[in-house]
Amino acid sequence: MQRIKCLPLVVPLAFALQLVLAVTASAQPGNGLLAAGDYHITTQTADYFSCCGDPSLPTLSVNVRDTTTVANPLVGPSMVTHETDVDVFACGGSNFICGGGCFIAGAGDFTGGGLSAAALNTRFDPATSLPCENRPVGLPAFTVSFNWSGTGPVGSTRKTSQYSCVGYTAEVQTLSSNVKATSSATFSLASGSLPTDSAGLGSIDQRWHAQGDAQDACQSFGLGGVGGKGAGGGGPTGNGGFELAVQNAGANIPFGFINLATVTRVTRPTGAPPTTFHDTELTVVSFGFPFFAYCYVLQSPNTFSFGSGLSSASVNAAIDQNTPACVNFPNSPFVPFTANLTWTAAGPLASIQSTAISDCGAFHQVTLSTDATDPAGATGNVSILGDISSPQSSINSSDHRFEDMGTAPQGCLLRP
């Protein structure tokens, strides 16, 4: 059985990279935090994926989010809104198409019966269909027809989150349920009958109580106002506890980024002694020419520091042939090189504490998590990139603790 995919177990760097990219992106205005008031958001999801069997057929991924929001803001009228977003990606096949994006389907194009069944019959027209998420669809006009039937055990997660940023607070209660599904699909840009590699159905019930005014710079940690978008996974193997603590500072630069991360991971399997992993990693990525992505373990504590309360961070390191590369990363042909960077927090500091209880058959998981982030500015020099001056930076901390009990039936889906 697979472990839950939201739990990075092998390469802690992957968690740090996801965190820095998500945090720096969410620092922009329009962070999804809801105005003071009470909200009830219900979302039904359906997903489909087909890939790599018949070369005459394209790879096709379709994700549907059908969301109804009942809003009772403290200021302004109450209202009910409904929207069906269809996220599609298709590439390859005998007709060779490649593109994707998100569009808003017609009000009656998606019908659902909870976790038992759902259907989508819709048409995309680049001249008339409205994009969602600022991601217009880069494909010619098409029609799609899908039918889903839920199968297997139901996985559910009940989560309570307390968010705060300056004078703004929100308590969010989320219940999410998911099930694997069978699916049939037709896609007008494909010349044959499409197989199904994976499919699923889900439901999300989210209730907000928000107070105060949220600044544009407050970062939302993906709380969002659209019912949430979980990453799929399967039931874990083995019982016991797991702890993952990360402190990192990230800097986005033109055509690249730098990330400094200290990672501590403790695994406490039932009936066996605990194991601990700890290191500090410096990652340097260039998306320009030449393209490269390198990561090195900083072995001396004198080469990095994190200030209290996410106030600052710094790295002053010389990377040479004796500096070990991170797991799954190559040695750089550019060594030796130096990294001298300082991060200074700019505020506002945002934090969230969450408790989640997940169940699927006999499997039970309790998760306690605390996350905090502070926008920052970064200045300095990385010799293989040049001088750095990045206002789009952040300093972050995360502490996640899991306790697993029981064994999940085959096919369980658990989503945060």
Average pLDDT taken over every residue of the chain: 86
Q: Are residues 134 and 254 in the same domain?
A: no
Domain assignment present for residue 315? The answer is yes
Q: Are residues 70 and 129 in the same domain?
A: yes
Q: Residue 327 has what pLDDT? A: 86
Average pLDDT over residues 311-319: 97
For 274-288, write each residue's pLDDT tens digit: 999 999 999 999 988
Q: Is the pLDDT of residue 234 over 50?
A: no
- pTM score: 0.78
Average pLDDT over residues 121-132: 96
Q: How many domains does the chain have?
A: 2
142-150 vs 168-187, strand pairing mode: antiparallel
For 65-124, write each residue's pLDDT tens digit: 999 999 999 999 999 999 999 999 999 988 889 999 999 999 999 998 789 999 999 999
Q: Are residues 200 and 277 in the same domain?
A: no
What residues make up the domain containing 82? Answer: 42-151+183-204
Q: Are residues 361 and 260 in the same domain?
A: yes
For residue 254, whether the previous peptide bond is cis, meaning omega lies within 30 degrees of 0, is no
Domain assignment present for residue 376? The answer is yes
Q: Residue 255 has what pLDDT? A: 87
Q: Are residues 308 and 370 in the same domain?
A: yes
Q: Residue 415 has what pLDDT? A: 67
Q: Residue 62 has what pLDDT? A: 97
For 48-82, write each residue's pLDDT tens digit: 999 887 888 999 999 999 999 999 999 999 999 99
Is 52:26 a contact under the CB 8 Å cutoff?
Answer: no
Q: Residue 290 has what pLDDT? A: 81
Is 5:232 a contact under the CB 8 Å cutoff?
Answer: yes
Q: Are residues 282 and 400 in the same domain?
A: yes
For 163-193, write each residue's pLDDT tens digit: 999 999 999 999 999 999 999 999 999 977 7
Q: Are residues 284 and 195 in the same domain?
A: no
pLDDT category at 416 given cuts 50, 70, 90 is low
Q: Are residues 138 and 256 in the same domain?
A: no
